[in-house]
Amino acid sequence: MLKFILNNQEVDTDLPAGTVLLDFVRYHQHLPGTKIGCREGDCGACTVLVGELAENQVRYRSYTSCLTPLGNVQGKHVVTVEGINMDGLNPIQQAMVDESATQCGFCTPGFVVSLAGFCLSGQKPTTQNAIAAVDGNICRCTGYKSIERAAAKVAQLLEAREGEEPADFVTQQQILPEYFTSIKSRLRALAADSAPNGHVLNGALQFVGGGTDLYVQKHDQMKELAARFLFNQADLQGIVRQENRCVIGGAATVSDLAESAVMQQYFPAFRPFLRLVSSTPIRNMATVAGNFVNASPIGDLTIMFLALDAQLVLSDGHTAREIPLRQFYKGYKVLEKAPQENITAIWFELPASATRFNFEKVSKRTHLDIASVNSACCFTVRDGLLITAAISAGGVGPIPMLLHKTSEFLVGREVSEELIQKALEIAQTEIAPISDARGTESYKRLLLNQLIKAHFLALFPQLNVQELMRQP
């Protein structure tokens, strides 16, 4: 049996672990506030909060329930819009009303739940952070300025919180129901009463991490498919420093990367780069290993970690082996991986002070979009010379690519506008983009040139911008 807390009630179910949470709350728990929209994680109408114990606190994150299997909420606290209702409108809902931030109302529960998640997050109570919390929610009729004003009001509600625990503050201020203060102890009791991996089906060859791509591609199949759910396995989580390595658990999410103290220390710009990856709810669910295994030619994390020369630890449950990410892709969606293997960890060497890293992406919109072309670079610079160089690119071939020839050409040379132009010429010989919905072949070739220029301009501000941009 799967057990978790749904709003203020403990529930258990013998439904298949692959059943999506959206269907469970609507059709089995009869909570219709969570809406069915795109079923692809794009619209946010089905947003819920999922809380779990982390470092003696309950950490809440927004999830798109249409892509969340029940197996991933075992032992956790699931909050739907019904779970934040009070006797009257709560202050979040009232802010939406006051600012005329709702019209047809279909998307409104998702916005309200996302803002409730912001109130429980402990983030600084700024308007910018409140608006960022709803970057996975789409409104089709109201217009976003009124919603942004409502988000600003919600941020104001939290200004007096200071260092108080979020759940305590929002209940004392009657922003959210009082039962939230009891959830920590109830989750501890639930953890002691249920096996954390009771939902793992041994022997299955379909691995499920966050499910953000699998449930888009195989929605109807996943419910009954025998699968191993990796999302909650403790030995696959965490991001730690081990000597001079950063080691990332296979089930670590994009949000875990953004919040990692190790990543923030060594890559101060990494968090802004990650804001270009999908949206907040998807980043809360999507795993690093899942992004690699998905093998999309434009996978954002894949492109970043190719430049960092990441190494993968693969295990079949009995033996483990390591393989460079750069050797993981053999062809379009073809991996150097046996069906029974999964990625248990990813590691890379932490950068020295002379290391410079950058990521660039072009897509049709900032959030919730995949790239037309993306690229990352990692350089080691001493005395004006490139000691090491790695440039990766996505959207310009059938697999995520490291531009080997271009990278090798740069090593040992002094950065100049002329050097960059020669590197661009080499890069064009390494790629084979195709025309598709995200752009023509010639457009993608142009984009890669511009992104490589952007790398150098970001990392070497002494370059002459006008001269570099005049080059073809």
pLDDT digits (tens, 9 = 90+) for 344-401: 999 999 999 899 999 999 998 877 788 999 999 999 999 989 999 999 999 999 999 9
Residue 224 in 3-state DSSP? coil
Residue 472 in 3-state DSSP? coil
CB environment 363-392: b (16+ within 10 A), e (fewer): beeebbbbbbbbbbbbbbbeeeebebbbbb
Query: Cα separation of 351 and 442, whole Å?
Result: 35
Alpha helices in 173-299 (DSSP H): 183-193, 214-217, 219-222, 254-259, 261-266, 270-274, 280-285, 288-294
The answer to whether residue 203 scores a pLDDT higher than 90 is no
Conformational region of residue 64, where left means phi above 0, alpha means psi within -120 to 50, and beta covers everything else:
beta
Read off the pLDDT band of 140 (50, 70, 90): confident
The answer to whether residue 195 scores a pLDDT higher than 60 is no
**Share of residues in the chain with pLDDT > 90 (%):** 85
pLDDT for 369 equals: 84
- Per-residue pLDDT, averaged over 324-350, amounts to 96
Q: What is the mean pLDDT of the chain?
A: 94
pLDDT for 309 equals: 98
Q: Read off the amino acid at residue 466.
A: Q
Q: Following CA atoms 424, 428, 433, 439 in sequence, which dihedral angle do they give, to the nearest 10 degrees?
A: 40
Pairing between β-strand 206-208 and β-strand 227-229 as defined by DSSP bridges: parallel
pLDDT digits (tens, 9 = 90+) for 20-41: 999 999 999 999 999 999 999 9
Given a contact cutoff of 8 angstroms between Cβ atoms, the answer to whether 344 and 315 are in contact is: yes
The answer to whether residue 300 scores a pLDDT higher than 50 is yes
- Per-residue pLDDT, averaged over 13-24, amounts to 95
**163 C-beta neighbours (distance < 10 Å), count:** 6
Residue 452 in 3-state DSSP? helix
pLDDT digits (tens, 9 = 90+) for 154-189: 999 999 998 899 999 999 999 999 999 999 999 999
- Longest C-alpha distance within the chain, in Å? 69
**222 C-beta neighbours (distance < 10 Å), count:** 22
